[in-house]
Amino acid sequence: MNKFMVIVMFLVATPHISGQKEIDFNSDKSLNKIFNQKEIEGLKSMVQFVDNMVEKSTNEDNPNKAYHLYFEKISKTPEYMVPFEENVKYRFLKSLDSTQFAMLWNFSQNAGVIKYRDSIYRNPDFITILELKPFSKYMDYLKEIGKDDPYYKFLQQEFERVGNLMQDSSEWFVRNHKKFDFDIPKNRLWAAIYLLRREESIEMKLDKYFKNK
């Protein structure tokens, strides 16, 4: 199936997406300084994909309200919440142009050494992990907006220092979502990226793999 057909199928399956409030990335000077127009279109596609999920999940057509409701749900749910079915999310991301995908993401099979039930696996090739790159155009963007925003400065520095978002930082964002206006491009973009990178645990991936084997 080619990329055009994947995108068409996605739009057909989500008919109300064109009627929702589209975020105005043109108003963000830093974003337009770092990314070219093709890359910005990729960012818009990712945001729209996540917008659609949170709106459907919360039954709220206002994206800002929908994100707040969804993060509140995560914060109050004892079990670990995974926003997307992995195959649906991966299919969408693979439908993007390769440069649009690569400006943020990487697919990895470096899960490390895993003890599962009575077996030990080392970087099993049947486990795929979506990673937000610690050095990328998006991190350049965070560094730029971090000149005036201490939260995004902290984010960029944490990724640069440890290569990932630490659990405490991840939980802080969910608990403090009310501090963010998701009608502001930088906040909406980060909220969408945060939910896209929120993956099944390795154990969940293994459970699913062996169940379907």
Q: What is the pTM of this model?
A: 0.85
- Quick one: pLDDT at residue 170? 96
In this structure, what DSSP letter does residue 198 have?
-
Three-state secondary structure readout of 50-115: HHHHHHHHHCCCCHHHHHHHHHHHHHHCCCCCCCCCHHHHHHHHHHCCHHHHHCCEEEECCCCEEE
Beta strands 119-122 and 129-132 are unpaired
- pLDDT exceeds 60 at position 3: no
| Interatomic CA distance for residues 143 and 154, integer angstroms | 9
The pLDDT tens digits for 28-70 are: 999 999 999 999 999 999 999 999 999 999 999 999 999 999 9
How far apart are the two ends of the chain, measured CA to CA in Å? 24
Residue the block writes with tokens 């979506």: 130
- Quick one: pLDDT at residue 186? 98
| Interatomic CA distance for residues 183 and 22, integer angstroms | 9
